[in-house]
Amino acid sequence: MLLLFEVIGGILFILPRFRTLGAVILTPIMAGILAHHFTLGDSLIIPLIMTAILVWVIVENRQKYLPMIKSN
């Protein structure tokens, strides 16, 4: 099931129109990948690069995320 979310999130992340939704889907997955690699002592180079790209997209599109965190 997780692989399905990874693939859907990746496809949405590639498409410019749905990039923000893909980033929302991929954020908890990337957190798990980072935790996995950090605790096992594996190489962190690729996960850190992928996380940097994800953070870059989130910061670049931060205006689109504001309605999700604003309270009325």
DSSP 4-72: HHHHHHHHHHHSGGGHHHHHHHHHHHHHHHHHHHHHHT---HHHHHHHHHHHHHHHHTHHHHHHHH---
* The pLDDT of residue 72: 67
Q: In this structure, what are the phi and psi dihedrals at residue 37, rounded to the nearest 5 degrees?
A: -70, -35
> Any idea where the domains of the chain sit in the sequence?
2-69
| Contact assessment for residue 11 and residue 25, using Cβ atoms and an 8 Å cutoff | no
Tokens of 21: 């939704």
In this prediction the pTM is 0.85
Q: Which stretches of the chain drop beneath a pLDDT of 70?
A: 72
